[in-house]
């Protein structure tokens, strides 16, 4: 199937880039670059993932999300799973499956505002026990992290912090909860699970002002869509250099190296080690330790 044929099918079915991204697992920005001709030589694994969706019966993807797999090509293997209902649309402003629709906006203390209109003033007015993230004026509820989530954070953060200390590096590693005003505006405040900041001027009393260099998110059922779509785009556009997604359920690591011109996700099973690109691969994180953490704590009720 040619790219022109893909574009025609996409338009015929009325898919937005966000929808096609959900179905294929290919980031929306990558799809846009391929379909507009900005990426001249897309990777075969990417084209295969797109073609598999566009050549299939459209009904297969209604209410379903197409997620990353662990194929030997390091790309996508067409794993399909039932998706939760993520509000009434496909943009960030429709919520992320946690009841963040217009009918519940008064839960955030200002009944005169709708999702997409909230600011940091509303964020700081919330009770301390109400854990949320604010992204482009939309509130996303955050459930309390499970033990396995916290232990994976510890494994990654401690490895990075130890490396920085041993090499007398200038960067600082943090783990959640840390507020990150990633766009330096009053519409977004996120709390990544692990982050590295190399520009010390970005470290403020409240948290981080600007884009960290390295970010990690650990997926849970309630954050999967947000971390893999909304935050992926947000982090890339803000200037984050490297973004890791740990998927405890699938036991894989997805790495986005935004420093590469034609960046595409690298999918790795949780075995061996994974090099950190912002340190030219000299720092390696033990994926075996993450796997062991999931084995020990992942099934605790």
Q: Which residues contact 282 (CB under 8 A, 6 or more apart)?
A: 275, 276
Looking at residue 80, its pLDDT comes to 28
DSSP class of residue 73 equals T
For the entire predicted model, the pTM comes to: 0.69
Looking at residue 60, its pLDDT comes to 57
pLDDT band at 156 (very low <50, low <70, confident <90, very high): very high
DSSP class of residue 96 equals S
Looking at residue 100, its pLDDT comes to 40
Instruction: Indicate the domain borders of the chain.
Output: 3-82, 92-141, 147-297
For 101-113, b where at least 16 C-beta lie within 10 A, e where not — what string? eeeebeebeeeeb
Check pLDDT > 90 for residue 244: yes
Looking at residue 62, its pLDDT comes to 52
Report the share of the chain in percent with pLDDT over 70.
Answer: 82
Looking at residue 90, its pLDDT comes to 34
Of residues 217 and 26, the one with the higher pLDDT is 217
**Fold annotation for 147-297:** tt1808, chain A (3.90.1570)
Looking at residue 110, its pLDDT comes to 64
pLDDT band at 177 (very low <50, low <70, confident <90, very high): very high
Check pLDDT > 80 for residue 203: yes
Check pLDDT > 60 for residue 71: no
Looking at residue 161, its pLDDT comes to 97
Alpha carbon 146 to its chain centroid, in Å, reads 18
Looking at residue 48, its pLDDT comes to 86
Of residues 233 and 22, the one with the higher pLDDT is 233
Check pLDDT > 70 for residue 38: yes
Looking at residue 187, its pLDDT comes to 96
DSSP class of residue 283 equals S
How far is it, in rounded angstroms, from Cα 218 to Cα 223?
A: 9
pLDDT in tens, 247-283: 999 999 999 999 998 788 999 999 999 999 999 999 9
pLDDT band at 111 (very low <50, low <70, confident <90, very high): low
What is the CATH class of 3-82? mainly alpha
Looking at residue 221, its pLDDT comes to 86
pLDDT band at 199 (very low <50, low <70, confident <90, very high): very high
Check pLDDT > 80 for residue 135: yes
Check pLDDT > 70 for residue 96: no
Pull the structure tokens for residue 178.
Answer: 């840390």
Check pLDDT > 70 for residue 106: no
Check pLDDT > 50 for residue 224: yes
Pull the structure tokens for residue 180.
Answer: 């990150």
For residue 210, is it left (φ>0), alpha (ψ between -120 and 50) or beta?
Answer: left
What mean pLDDT, rounded, does the chain reach? 82
pLDDT band at 72 (very low <50, low <70, confident <90, very high): very low
């Amino acid at each position: 199937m040619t790219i022109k044929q893909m574009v025609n099918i996409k338009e015929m079915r009325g898919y937005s880039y966000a929808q096609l991204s959900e179905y294929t697992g290919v980031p929306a920005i990558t799809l846009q670059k391929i379909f507009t001709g900005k990426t001249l030589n897309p990777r075969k694994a990417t084209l295969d993932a797109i073609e598999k969706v566009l050549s299939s019966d459209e009904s297969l993807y209604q209410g379903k999300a197409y997620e990353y797999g662990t194929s030997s090509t390091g790309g996508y293997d067409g794993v399909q799973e039932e998706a939760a209902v993520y509000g009434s649309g496909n943009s960030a402003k429709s919520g992320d499956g946690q009841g963040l629709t217009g009918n519940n906006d008064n839960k955030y203390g200002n009944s005169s505002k709708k999702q997409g209109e909230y600011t940091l003033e509303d964020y700081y007015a919330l009770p301390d026990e109400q854990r949320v993230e604010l992204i482009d004026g939309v509130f996303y509820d955050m459930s309390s992290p499970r033990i396995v989530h916290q232990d994976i954070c510890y494994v990654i953060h401690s490895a990075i912090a130890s490396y920085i200390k041993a090499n007398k590096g200038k960067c600082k590693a943090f783990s959640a909860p840390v507020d990150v005003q990633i766009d330096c505006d009053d519409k977004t405040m996120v709390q990544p699970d692990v982050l590295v900041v190399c520009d010390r001027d970005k470290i403020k009393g409240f948290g981080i002002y600007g884009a960290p260099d390295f970010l990690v998110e650990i997926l849970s059922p309630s954050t999967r869509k947000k971390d893999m779509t909304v935050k992926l785009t947000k982090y890339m556009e803000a200037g984050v250099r490297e973004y890791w997604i740990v998927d405890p359920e699938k036991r894989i690591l997805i790495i986005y190296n935004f420093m590469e011109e034609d960046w595409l996700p690298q999918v790795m099973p949780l075995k061996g080690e994974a090099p950190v690109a912002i340190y030219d691969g000299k720092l390696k994180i033990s994926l075996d330790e993450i796997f062991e953490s999931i084995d020990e704590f992942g099934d605790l009720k």
